[in-house]
Structure 1
Amino acid sequence: MLCWVQDQITTRPESTEPFQRLHLCHTVDVPDGIRNLIAATEQDADDTTRIVWAPLVRAAVLHLYPAVGAALATPADTWGGPVEQPPMLDGTYVWS
C-alpha cells in the first residue's frame, strides 16, 4: 500500500550537484520465503545499496532513507491513504 510521498533535494557527501528524488513509500507484508526472490539491492541507484527488511516498530527508530521513521510509528489503521511527508533538504536531512 502506498503510504507516504516525500520529495528530496539534497547534496550528497563529496558531491556538489543537487540530488533529487521523489520517494513513494509503501508498506507490504512479505513472507520470509518470498523475500529471497525480491531484489536485494536498490535498482535505481548507482551505489546498489543493500535492502534490509525490518518490522515497522524497529524501522520507526532507525535513521532511514527516505526520512519516514516518524511516520512509521503512526498506527497503520490511521494512515487512510498517501500522505505527503516534509521534504528532505540539506537543512533537514543529514547523510549518515
Structure 2
Amino acid sequence: MQGSWTEFQKALGIDIPDIAIKLAVNEASAQVEAVLAGRGISLVRHTLVADMLEAGLLIRPINFSMPAEYHYYLVAPEAKFRTEKVRAFVSWISSEIS
C-alpha cells in the first residue's frame, strides 16, 4: 500500500512526511473498518466503498482518482462463455463497469 500513497503524492504534487502515516493495514476491508471507526483516511478502490459513499457513511474529501495497479478478468473455459447464465453475467457486469 505504501506504493499507492507514493503514487498518490506524485499525482497530486504533494509530499506527506512518512511520520504522518501511523497505521499500515494491508487488507482492504480492515482499512475501511478503520476509517469507519475514525482512525484516519485511506486509499481504497471505489468499488469497495461506493455504497458507503452513497449512504453518507464515508466522504471523498477530494475529487481525485487514479488507475488501479491491478485489473480483474473474467476467466473460464471457452465453452462456459456460450452458456446462457454466463452470457447474462457478462452482459450485466459489462453494463455495471461502463
| TM bucket normalised to smaller | under 0.3
Bigger Rg over Cα:
2
- Which is helix-richer, 1 or 2? 2
By relative contact order (CA 8 Å, sep 6+), the higher-ranking structure is 1
TM-score (norm 1): 0.24
